[in-house]
Structure formats: structure tokens, C-alpha cells
Homo-oligomer: A and B are copies of this chain.
Amino acid sequence: MPAKRPPVPLSRERIIEAALHIADGQGLRRLTMRRLGDALQVEAMAIYHHLPRGKEALMDALAEHVTTVTVDPSGSATWQELARAWARAGRAALLEHPGVLALALTKPPQGTALIAVREQGEQLAASGLGDSTQAVRSLRAYVMGSVAVEIQRSGWAGPAGDGEEPGAPPLPGSRTESEQEAVAAFERGLEALLRGLAET
């Protein structure tokens, strides 16, 4: 018979990982302290030892996780290339965890996520972009909104928008789009915005 599991100690990282798995798989509304405890083979109350502010702290941590990105500026010769890199990285991070998108779009950046936003501004300014504050804001808005549209179209939240259950068939009116169509739409809008930002 298998020996009793040497209990892997709980940790912030393991908790967040399990929480993302539940949120992406069953929806945010089914992410429950008790269910999370089950997934971690632990009583729900044990979580409070690692996240003292409880579910509030968990939500903050999830938002921070999917919203923290880094870009190596040395790979980009122009501010346009740099902006593209940030936009693509941001989109990819958000798209990886559709279950917590609502948190990511709603909570102000915090901790590492806030640092990342500032870094983006500094890099763009250093790369020769004039009003980098305005540009960062428009770019962030476009990226967040694009992922929102994309998740909506994917039918992740159900075709009737049934709140939180993923996996249902897609939109009633319009077909599901392929990954390629989605990136194409994203890139075209991004290029339009970059062109517009370039003209003072």
C-alpha cells in the first residue's frame, strides 16, 4: 500500500497556483476557501495562516499574479517595438488565466504589478517616446480591453454569459474564432494605436 504522503508544506505559491487552477477550471464564483483547502489536502482554515487577510488577500494575490509582466528592453530598437513587446506580454499573461480576468481588470495594480507598470513607463520614456505616461495608459487600456473582448468571444463564461461556468459552447450570433484570428485582430488594432500615438 502507498505510504501516507509526506505532507508538502503549504505555501503562498502553492495556494495561488491551486486557486488559479480552480478559477480557470470552474469560475471565480466556485473558488471557495473550503474547495481550495480540499485541493491542497488541508482544512480551509490552514490557508489563513499563509494569507492572513483571507480571501481578500487571495484575490489581491491572484490579480497581481496575472498582471505582473517583464520585458527585456534590449530586444527592442525603437519605442514601437518596445511597446509591442509590452502589449504582447500583457495580453499573454491575462489570457493564460481567464478565470481571474475580472479581478485583473478591476483591481488597481499593486506590488510587483505596480512596479511593472512603472517600469513600462520608464522604458518607453528612455526609448525616446515623448508622452510616455499617456502612451502607457492607452496601451494598457487597449490590452486589457482586447483580452476582455477575446475572452467574451471565446465563450469562456458561457454563451448566455452564465456567470462563471466555463466550457460551454460559444456565442449565439457569431462563430468562435481561431487563435490566429484573435492574434490578427489584436495586432491590427495595436498597429493602429501605435501609428496614432506616433503622430504626436
Contacts and interface: CB of A to CB of B under 8 A. Distances in A.
Contact of A106 (B151, B153, B188, B197): B151
Interface size class of A (residues with CB under 8 A): 35 or more
A89 B63 CA distance: 28
Interface in A159-200: 159-163, 171-173, 185, 188-189, 191-197, 199
B188 A152 contact: no
Contact of A138 (B140, B163, B192): B192
B196 A141 contact: no
Mostly, the A contact residues are helix
Interface stretch (A18-26, A69-77, A107-115): A107-115
Contacts of A106: 101-102, 105, 148, 151-152, 157, 161
A153 B117 CA distance: 13
Contacts of A192: 138, 193, 196-197, 199
26 contacts: A55-B163, A56-B162, A60-B160, A60-B163, A63-B161, A101-B105, A102-B102, A105-B105, A105-B145, A106-B148, A108-B159, A114-B172, A114-B173, A134-B185, A138-B146, A138-B185, A138-B188, A138-B192, A141-B146, A142-B142, A142-B145, A144-B145, A148-B148, A192-B197, A193-B196, A196-B197
Interface string A83-116: 0000000000000000001110111111000100
Number of copies: 2
Given A56-B162, A102-B106, A106-B102, A185 B137 contact: yes
Given A102-B105, A141-B142, A196 B191 contact: yes
A152 B109 contact: yes
